[in-house]
Chains A and B, each alone.
Chain A
């Protein structure tokens, strides 16, 4: 049963849509069907029906929704005694069409969905534009295996290089594939660390399906939308970031929103490892400066110096 509190907007939307739903189902659905359809609880549905039942024009005393409350309470059936004033849900607004169209376009960038006939039909209906998807990318070989693992709830093993640059053959229990702002992550339970972590697909190679099923522990693990969650061992680092590189903050967990100071953002991030931090700083090409603690500043300088040594300017 859904436990999420409905917003006023949700209630408004469901209320205006529910008679349309009934109309499309010959004016009779079970309460369970309606609850599942709108993802609401029986109590929420009962309250909503009661509210609609009492709506009236005070001047004409016309009531707008004549629900059969007796059959709701005694037979578990939702129906109207007579046609309601609204027989279809309201049409989509331009903003709603646009939001869904952009979501569909983004969905189409999922390799394996770009050629999906249903998706293409929807993109046509919503006026979304198709875009080029590189079919020869290295991800093309990994994704089908990972999708199969998620669908069949099978464990995998794969080569993985973590943010510290350590490489190992890892056994993982895949739960979901996330595409976050164009970057693929496998959300999987890691038996070694005994928690759910995000594994970037571009740091993964040679994934293979195993016979073992995903464990009950993994299935029960909470799937959070946050890719980066702070752990107790993580250290706090102060940074100054050019506005152009503000996505830097997305790569780390942080308890505070960065502050704008002129053309720069100042803030703090958590990192478990200074070498991982240094990589992110170097990748922003000088647009991120670590201010404190001194050990973090030194780690960045050290790694950058190593890179200058590994590629001498006069190399033959």
Chain B
């Protein structure tokens, strides 16, 4: 008989488990699912390893495979979680909504998050309607070069605390932070983590680029309410509204293209360092009028570049 492929074996495993009312042990599954005996050729240790890999893959593919105990033990029973294949009766997605979801999934390029989004989309597509093709020519793209992004995304989903080193604005040495990550958002082109700090119980925003270490998970228990999250988001918006810079923009310059006007203009900003980098990009067309700290930051940066390349 032809050997079952890995995909065939995984599908068979899911189907066999779906027909079982009380779940099945490993030994029962090895008897019922084609592929195990052939693949392991009687080697029990190899069979166990193969089954462990299959369990991981099924879970990674987003199917809720659950068990009733310690999975290292042989008598533990496995089953597919109740309701895993039943959707809310009133959930109906239009073709255009599916098109928007496809665009949302497309945004993730070359990350494991893309795999999650793509696989989710396959399931949603099966709910019926054909995808519209009405939103023409838009291509959102998120290219993440920061390995911490995916670790933090997983921690948000799993609601687990994390530890990392964070270099605050103008600080010389990083501080260790233990936080409960809540959201990652792209604000003005920058990835910002919203998280609750275990030390002072405050919900704060952290720029991903200032996380100076690898992010690790922590056992710390941190509680959070929706009201706290909403307040923190409102606070950030208010903070941006309060931060006002006055700039002088050269007429008919690239800076005028960017800011939409020339002469003296005012803009709001989230972070002085990020704004200074924007200004440095257009430094021959923009001068800082206020605040003084921003003007100094820009001038210091230029001097630093001169001395480093002298």
Assess the B61–A18 pair: CB atoms within 8 A: no
Contact A87-B85, Cβ < 8 Å, known A103-B107, A246-B146, A311-B287:
yes
Our pick among B15, B114, B189, B257 for the contact of A85 (Cβ within 8 Å) is B15
Complex interface: chain B residues within 8 A of A92 (CB)? 62, 120, 123-124
Complex interface: chain B residues within 8 A of A30 (CB)? none
Complex interface: chain B residues within 8 A of A99 (CB)? 105, 108, 113-114, 116-117, 120, 153
Task: Give complex CA distance A213, B113 in Å.
Answer: 38
Q: Does B304 contact A (CB under 8 A)?
A: yes
Assess the B101–A100 pair: CB atoms within 8 A: yes
Complex interface: chain A residues within 8 A of B141 (CB)? 178-181, 225
Assess the A182–B186 pair: CB atoms within 8 A: yes
Min CB distance B206 to A, Å, is 13
Complex interface: chain A residues within 8 A of B42 (CB)? none
Assess the A106–B107 pair: CB atoms within 8 A: yes
Task: Give complex CA distance A94, B244 in Å.
Answer: 39
Q: Does B12 contact A (CB under 8 A)?
A: yes
Complex interface: chain B residues within 8 A of A225 (CB)? 109, 141
Assess the A249–B301 pair: CB atoms within 8 A: no
Our pick among B15, B103, B137 for the contact of A86 (Cβ within 8 Å) is B15
Q: Does A41 contact B (CB under 8 A)?
A: no
Q: Does B94 contact A (CB under 8 A)?
A: yes
Closest-by-CB residue of A relative to B107 is A103
Of the listed stretches B27-35, B71-79, B217-225, chain A binds B27-35
Task: Give complex CA distance A239, B73 in Å.
Answer: 53
Chain A interface main SS type: helix
Interface residues on A, range: 35 or more
Assess the A122–B100 pair: CB atoms within 8 A: yes
Closest-by-CB residue of A relative to B241 is A132
Assess the B280–A104 pair: CB atoms within 8 A: no
Can you report 25 residue pairs joining A to B where beta carbons are below 8 Å apart? A11-B7, A37-B130, A55-B8, A55-B15, A60-B32, A85-B18, A90-B84, A91-B85, A99-B108, A99-B116, A99-B153, A122-B104, A132-B237, A151-B137, A167-B254, A182-B186, A203-B257, A246-B146, A249-B145, A280-B281, A300-B309, A301-B305, A304-B306, A308-B306, A310-B284
Complex interface: chain A residues within 8 A of B278 (CB)? 283
Contact A177-B139, Cβ < 8 Å, known A87-B85, A95-B116, A118-B94:
yes
Task: Give complex CA distance A111, B61 in Å.
Answer: 33
Assess the A138–B153 pair: CB atoms within 8 A: no
